[in-house]
Amino acid sequence: MVDKVRAFIDRHELLTEGATVVVGVSGGPDSLALLHLLSSLRDEWKLRLVAAHVDHMLRGRESEEEMEFVKHFCAEHRILCEAVQIDVPAFQRRTGLGVQEAARNCRYHFFAELVKKHQAQYIALGHHGDDQVETILMRLVRGSTSKGYAGIPVKRPFHGSYLIRPFLAVSRAEIEDYCEKEGLTPRRDPSNEKDEYTRNRFRHHIVPLLKQENPRLHERFQQYSEIMAEDEQFLEELATDALNKVMEKQNSDTVLRIAPFLALPRPLQRRALQLLLLRLYGGVPPVLTSVHIGHILMLCERGRPSGMLDLPKGLKVIRSYDRCLFTFGLQCCAQGYWLQLPVPALLPLPNGYVIMSEFGEHYPRKQLGNDSFVVDPATVSLPLHVRTRRTGDRMVLKGTGGTKKIKEIFIEAKIPRTERDCWPIVEDADGRILWVPGLKKSAFEAKERGQARYILLHYQAMNS
């Protein structure tokens, strides 16, 4: 087994001579064997080892005894030991996470602290070949992303260091045999025998059947994992470039342009969405699967111009015509607003825009678009107000003399439903709609009449 692990470390360049390695040690067979094996190589490779143990405080006195066991083992083998007790049940109550995810978060946070404290280059964990088989099977059954189907990575960046798994080359049986030959007496976690955990059911009932077909199952799965990881890395580079061409940023939100996105090959569509979600979440949550990716694709492909999806952790995906908005916080105004518009002033609006008002002694010489409006104080009632839309709103359109519903103006301009409730409408003191900024002007816009004093209004993004 030692030769297998050595060859695996060399092939994947998992360790460098003279490195500081933090080794996660629970006291079980896998992590204890890993610590023992690295200890036997430390003089040859000039390694500095730091054993990291976390008592998750889930099993009372039993888990305390495991911590003492690890400390004693490290003292016997002259290995620096960093052990900590973390109240995982309390953390679980605060966060609402499942027990396994809560324990993992606490454990990895402790590892990150040790990396910084000891300036470590590597975190070594005892995941082995059978763990890889179980992980890939579970993800295939449950559903995952294409990167998830590759299983457990051999090596990945971790807080300025690398997280490595040298035992992915060997099976659980080989590790047990190593422990017996080396006289190691690891502790056993009784929860590993309970079928209430999904992984244990795969371990106890499914993997043994597959091993009857191929005793070297773990080697085949590891090979599959590495091929998948290599393919994914290549496709991810293509997807990154493609995503940057079809994505736009709008303040803190992200917009996907649907037509160019759907023009991409299907494999790049899926991976582009995975990358986009990874950026938005800062790490895809475990509950996000290929099913969610499929739902987003269906939303983009459907004939209807609008629709919405609710994704984990409050992310909403909103289709509106040829755009798909990804947002954690809809910029809607459920309560509406009604604000006085003083002159001169810079009035910030809830939709991230401002209306700037000022006095002008002369009528503007250049042609003004829909982002500007000229008010003649002699022909409208002051003060002006800015408000959100109301049922039945209509305005007298400039240049036509006819009236039109505000709702129809929004539809013709393809304004997303999520933005309509927050869109500003400027009215005078008599309630006449003067202007829908950026979209339409009313017949009440001032006309040039010599040396009159005017009010000039400008609508622009807050950060422009």
The binding site for ATP comprises 26-31
CA dihedral 257, 263, 265, 267 (to 10 degrees): 20
Cβ contact 388:423 at 8 Å: yes
Annotated binding site: 26-31
Spatial separation of the C-alpha atoms in residues 37 and 221, rounded to whole Å: 24
Measured distance CA(144)–CA(236) in Å, rounded: 16
Write out the H or E segment, with its range, that includes residue 324: strand 323-327
d(CA 126, CA 304): 50
Q: Tell me whether strands 122-124 and 20-24 are parallel, antiparallel or unpaired.
A: parallel
Edge-first strand order for the sheet with 433-436 is 338-341, 384-387, 425-427, 433-436, 440-441
Is residue 462 within 8 Å of residue 360, measured between CB atoms? no
- Tell me the one-letter amino acid at 267: P
Q: Please give the Cα distance from 110 to 56 (Å, whole number).
A: 11
3-state secondary structure labels for all residues of 28-68? CHHHHHHHHHHHHHHHHHCCEEEEEEEECCCCCHHHHHHHH
Q: Could you give the CA distance from residue 317 to residue 292 in angstroms, rounded to a whole number?
A: 11
